[in-house]
Amino acid sequence: MRYFMDISYKGTNFSGWQIQPNGITVQEEIEKALSTILQKEISIVGSGRTDAGVHAKQQIAHFDVDNIDPEKLALKLNSFLSDDISINSVIPVKDDVSARFEASSRKYHYHIHQTKSPFKIGQSYYFRPALEIDKINKACEIIKDWKNFECFSKVHTEVNHFNCDIFDAKWTQNESDHLFEITANRFLRGMVRAIVGTLLDVGLNKTSLEELKGILESNDRGKAGRAVPAEGLYLQEVNYPKDIYLN
């Protein structure tokens, strides 16, 4: 039987989501805990990768196993896992559903603070210069109407195409804190951090709105802004069609 796990994690101490030869990853830690509890080798498939240092308020992963109590399993997992990872729920789904391929939308948040705070280290990007928020949101409208985001993708990425449907993108400010929210059907590797870096250049008047259009048209990662630090990025939400769930 197939189950979805709803997972949260602080990415500071991990080398990303996906298992790799060098470095501790979130997927590896959860698979170890699952295999220990269930006394059999268990593999999980996430809705997507997050890079080293990136956090998740909601990551979804699927796995297959028979004869479990989902609520009890979630409790046991939370007792095994470090404080950096929590299993929010384990939910039965249809057997042919993939956490990776069936997601209808994904939402990311990027957090910036402009007043120094020891409590935000590793969880938000400290960036002091003043920004023109109205201009940034005009840039967001341009991005929302675009389709091909090769200019914001890490180079040498193995994908069939660079097209993404952006459902929403906006930038808000609350006193000295800034929040960028973006929702799409899919994201390319490094895409959100490159978009934020480019939007910061727009907000600093280093890049005009016309120049932003030129960057998008170029399909050239070298013309876009820098990738901002991972610490401010959160996989916020992953959504699926309601008919995939059994309960």
Q: What span, in angstroms and rounded, lies between the C-alpha atoms of 63 and 1? A: 8
Residue 84 a catalytic site member? no
Spatial separation of the C-alpha atoms in residues 191 and 50, rounded to whole Å: 11
**Residue 200 phi, psi (nearest 5):** -60, -40
DSSP class per residue in 84-143: TEEEEEEEEE-TT--TTTS--EEEEEEEEESS--GGGTTTSEE--S---HHHHHHHHHHH
Q: Mutual orientation of helices 191-203 and 209-218 as an angle, nearest 10°?
A: 150
Q: How far is CA 146 from the centre of its chain?
A: 20
Give me the catalytic one of 6, 51, 64, 83: 51
* 8, 54 Cβ separation under 8 angstroms: no
Active-site residue list: 51
